[in-house]
């Protein structure tokens, strides 16, 4: 039974100048690279398959299997694209990873590219994180100078070039085919699949797109073996992951643990809820994953456990809200976000999210009637599953789940003619004036 | 005003980084902003000409992404996260206070005043720093754990030209300088600031305190393989969407 917390990716974040090549090499960094080069690329894919690593960007698709889909008989160049567009509300793990230890990502990029036989890789970082872009640019530059990138890496005969690409502000580009559009210099609008990117991705060539944390997990798997990785986690959700706690807990932050840890344990490690308040609702994996409540404190946070509770593990973005928070306000704000970020390609999403905001805004102000709740649910039903990508599916999640668990609170807005909550009580500084 | 020869050379340099030049368009537009202070018609024309596409194609891209600005941006771009978690934790109050204090609305820029730098204020979406809520961004550098008071101090310092440092990064450069880095022309500030802020290290600190670590590499419990077929993998994966797609693909096959 592994320890409660298992720092692997976060293990060096506290090191002096952890982001530098010197610090990373000092603790054995780039050692997994030689181990990988001593293996056949297919054997590297097999190792990652055997480890059970599932995509850390939200969907949980087996990473090794995704790599295996790259048709090696296709004469076109193959590409690896790292999805570093971390934008899902609540998700804040890849950004600190790239800030503290960009070389973990770069080493992962080299091994993963070698495995799928790509000679060019792209790291697509959202543009709104300047210092992270700097750190990754510098890490790539250092890796070139040290001979970890470029021609004939470590004398292996393998060549790889890496381009760091900054996005320009679009949540939708976290969706892999929209990201490819952005990387091709177009509006970030998702593509219809099939064909899947593995067959026709970047420049219509075979392409693997993986989340930062997935790729960053690869060096440790190669270095320590698939059995080591699989000894952590649960039956079908192997390994470790970064759990990001935010909101009304005493010590929000990053907690790296085997998959399957519970929110009860995590909140306990975080020092509990704020003084004098109780957990009201939370997202297990970002705002696109249906809300859960205090009833769900003991479900295992793995793909199966959260799925069985009616939500999704997503990105392990645990946004914690206490009893001072109005769930209608929270839901309206997320809905406004989805409306703003809808790329406009599919009508149910473009028009639907706009209508959801109209109905929810009225409810939040205490206008309308209880039948509007059914109208909302009906709208959600007409939006879910009817667009190219999952953005609109995500948009309905907070609405349907909040009505499921907090219908009375919606009704209270109507009976009281407005929001019964005082937003000042939810703030980070609430109560501090009194204590001071 | 046309772009300088130097800028045109750099725009071409960006396009040359990619197997297909058009891939350079996003960073090229960042460069246009760094020299022009916004996306200008001249900048659009220059990109179009270099890439051999129409100005309409370039405009289509420039209007899609929110970091590209059609109106002049101030010396500093100040963002306040008002997505749900930050809003609840105080982002709404901060944004309101700053609008009052600066006398501008969302996506507006303060008037030129003698001796003062200008600020463009905008509410932004989740910036991936939720464990530091409420979060602000100054030229896309993290300003963590803000309050209305620290927010006012921040914009006052920026306006007065005082040195301001990101809570997890270097001194704040101007918006134009920041845009140049995003275009792929690094400055020399990568080594400034800490590796991680306090919240990023909370879990690690607890693990160290209690002696918790990942298992030793010798541990081997055999295969962790969780799915043997694509169908099985898709059914285990968390996207109903992927499931329908694969079934569709299989039925097409």
- pLDDT tens per residue, range A250-268: 999 999 999 999 999 999 9
- In whole angstroms, what is the distance from residue A5 CA to residue A19 CA? 22
CA distance A14 to chain B (A): 7
Q: Which residue of A has its CA nearest to B62?
A: A187
pLDDT by residue (tens digit) across A422-435? Answer: 999 999 999 775 44
- In whole angstroms, what is the distance from residue A406 CA to residue A325 CA? 12
Architecture of the CATH domain A240-322: Roll (3.10)
- Structure-block tokens of residue B62: 């420039």
Q: What is the pLDDT of residue B112?
A: 81
User: Domain ranges in chain B?
Assistant: 5-62, 76-182
* Residues paired with residue A39 on neighbouring β-strands, in sequence order: none
What is the SS3 assignment for A371? Answer: helix
Class of A21-230 in CATH: alpha beta
pLDDT-above-70 percentage for chain B: 87
CA distance A83 to chain B (A): 14
Classify domain A327-423 by CATH number.
1.20.1440.230
- Structure-block tokens of residue B102: 């600066």
Asked if residues A52 and A62 have their Cβ atoms less than 8 Å apart, the reply is yes
Out of B18, B64, B242, closest to residue A61 by CB: B242
Residues of A in contact with B134 (CB under 8 A): 427-428
How many other CB atoms are found less than 10 A from the CB of residue B198?
16
User: Domain ranges in chain A?
Assistant: 21-230, 240-322, 327-423
Spans of chain B below 50 pLDDT? 220, 240-253
Asked if residues B170 and B164 have their Cβ atoms less than 8 Å apart, the reply is no
Instruction: Please tell me what DSSP assigns to residue B64.
Output: T
Instruction: Please tell me what DSSP assigns to residue B70.
Output: S
Mean pLDDT by 10 residues, chain A (436 residues): 96 98 97 98 98 96 97 96 98 98 98 98 98 98 98 97 98 97 98 95 98 98 97 97 98 98 98 97 98 98 98 98 98 98 97 98 96 97 95 98 98 97 97 57
**Third-level CATH fold of B5-62:** Arc Repressor Mutant, subunit A (1.10.10)
- In whole angstroms, what is the distance from residue A427 CA to residue A40 CA? 54
Residues of B in contact with A256 (CB under 8 A): 203-204, 207
Out of B90, B214, B233, closest to residue A2 by CB: B214
B187 Cβ neighbours under 8 A, 6+ residues apart: A134, B173, B177, B180, B181
| Candidates A28, A168, A174, A341, partner chain B, best to mutate (most B CBs within 10 A) | A168
Could you tell me how far CA A210 lies from the centroid of its own chain? Answer: 11
- Structure-block tokens of residue A4: 């409660």
Q: What is the pLDDT of residue B231?
A: 73
Q: What is the pLDDT of residue B239?
A: 53
* Rounded alpha-carbon distances, angstroms, from residue A237 to A52, A418, B230: 7, 43, 16
Q: B76-182, superfamily in CATH?
A: Glutaredoxin (3.40.30.10)
Asked if residues A222 and B212 have their Cβ atoms less than 8 Å apart, the reply is no
Query: Dihedral of CA A335/A338/A340/A342: which sign?
Result: negative
Assign 3-class secondary structure to A202-260: HHHCCEEEEEHHHHHHHHHHHHHCHHHHHCCECCCCECEEEEEEEECECCCEEEEEECC
How many other CB atoms are found less than 10 A from the CB of residue A76?
12
Mean pLDDT of chain A: 97
Question: B129, A231: Cβ pair inside 8 Å?
Answer: no
Could you tell me how far CA A157 lies from the centroid of its own chain? Answer: 34
Q: What is the pLDDT of residue B225?
A: 67
Q: What is the pLDDT of residue B244?
A: 43
A271 Cβ neighbours under 8 A, 6+ residues apart: A249, A250, A251
Q: What is the pLDDT of residue B232?
A: 72
Antiparallel, parallel or unpaired: β A79-84 and A207-211 = parallel
Q: What is the pLDDT of residue A267?
A: 98
């Amino acid at each position: 039974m592994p320890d409660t917390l298992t720092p692997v990716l976060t293990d060096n974040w506290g090191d002096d100048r952890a982001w530098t090549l010197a610090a990373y090499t000092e603790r054995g960094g780039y050692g997994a690279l030689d181990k990988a080069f001593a293996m056949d690329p297919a054997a590297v894919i097999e190792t990652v398959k055997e480890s059970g690593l599932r995509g850390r960007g939200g969907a949980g698709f087996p990473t090794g299997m995704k790599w295996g889909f790259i048709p090696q008989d296709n004469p076109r160049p193959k590409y690896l694209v790292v999805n570093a567009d971390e934008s899902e509300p609540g998700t804040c793990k890849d950004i600190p990873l790239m800030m503290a230890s960009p070389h973990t990502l770069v080493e992962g990029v080299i091994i993963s590219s070698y495995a799928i036989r790509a000679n060019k890789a792209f790291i697509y970082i959202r543009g709104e994180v300047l210092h992270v872009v700097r750190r990754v640019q510098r890490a790539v530059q250092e890796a070139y100078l040290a001979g970890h990138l470029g021609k004939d890496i470590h004398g292996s005969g393998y060549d790889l070039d890496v381009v760091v690409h900054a996005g320009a502000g679009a949540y939708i580009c976290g969706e892999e085919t929209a990201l490819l559009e952005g990387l091709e210099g177009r509006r970030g609008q998702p593509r219809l699949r099939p064909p899947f990117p593995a067959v026709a991705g970047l420049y219509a060539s075979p392409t693997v797109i993986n989340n930062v944390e997935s790729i960053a997990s690869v060096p440790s798997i190669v270095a320590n073996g698939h059995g080591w990785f699989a000894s952590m986690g649960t039956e079908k959700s192997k390994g470790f992951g970064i759990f990001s706690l935010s909101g009304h807990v005493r010590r929000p932050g990053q907690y790296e643990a085997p998959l399957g840890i519970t929110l009860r344990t995590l909140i306990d490690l975080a020092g509990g809820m704020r003084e004098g308040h109780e957990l009201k609702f939370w997202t297990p994996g970002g705002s696109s994953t249906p809300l859960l409540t205090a009833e769900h404190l003991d479900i295992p946070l793995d793909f199966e456990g959260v799925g069985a509770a009616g939500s999704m593990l997503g990105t392990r973005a645990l946004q914690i809200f206490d009893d001072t928070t109005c769930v209608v306000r929270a839901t309206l704000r997320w809905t406004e976000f989805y409306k703003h970020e809808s790329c406009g390609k599919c009508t149910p999403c473009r028009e639907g999210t706009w209508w959801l905001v109209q109905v929810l805004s009225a409810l939040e102000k205490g206008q309308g009637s209880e039948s509007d709740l059914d109208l909302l649910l009906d709208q959600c039903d007409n939006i879910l599953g009817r667009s190219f990508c999952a953005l609109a599916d995500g948009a309905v999640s907070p609405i349907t789940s909040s009505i499921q668990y907090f219908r009375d609170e919606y009704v209270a807005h109507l009976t009281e003619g407005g929001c019964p909550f005082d937003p000042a009580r939810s703030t980070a500084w609430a109560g501090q004036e009194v204590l001071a | 005003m046309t772009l300088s020869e130097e800028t045109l050379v750099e725009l071409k340099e960006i396009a040359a980084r990619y197997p297909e030049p058009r891939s350079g368009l996003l960073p090229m537009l960042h460069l246009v902003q760094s020299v022009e202070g916004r996306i200008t018609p001249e900048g659009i024309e220059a990109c179009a000409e270099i890439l051999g596409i129409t100005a309409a194609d370039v405009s289509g891209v420039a209007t899609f992404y929110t970091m590209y600005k059609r109106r002049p941006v101030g010396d500093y771009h100040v963002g306040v996260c008002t997505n749900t978690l930050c809003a609840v934790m105080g982002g709404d109050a901060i944004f309101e206070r700053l609008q009052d204090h600066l006398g501008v609305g969302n996506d507006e820029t303060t008037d030129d005043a003698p001796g003062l730098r200008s600020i463009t204020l905008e509410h932004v979406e989740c910036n991936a720093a939720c464990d530091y809520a409420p979060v602000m961004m100054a030229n896309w550098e993290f300003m963590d754990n803000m309050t209305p008071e620290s927010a006012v101090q921040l914009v006052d310092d920026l306006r007065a030209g005082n040195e301001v440092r990101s809570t997890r990064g270097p001194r704040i450069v101007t918006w134009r300088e920041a845009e140049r880095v995003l275009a792929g022309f690094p400055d020399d500030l990568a080594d400034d600031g800490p590796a991680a802020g306090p919240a990023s290290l909370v879990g690690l600190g607890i693990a160290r305190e209690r002696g918790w670590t990942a298992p030793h590499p010798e541990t081997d419990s055999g295969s962790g393989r969780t799915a043997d077929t694509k169908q099985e993998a898709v059914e285990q994966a968390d996207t109903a969407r992927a499931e329908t797609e694969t079934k569709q693909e299989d039925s097409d096959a």
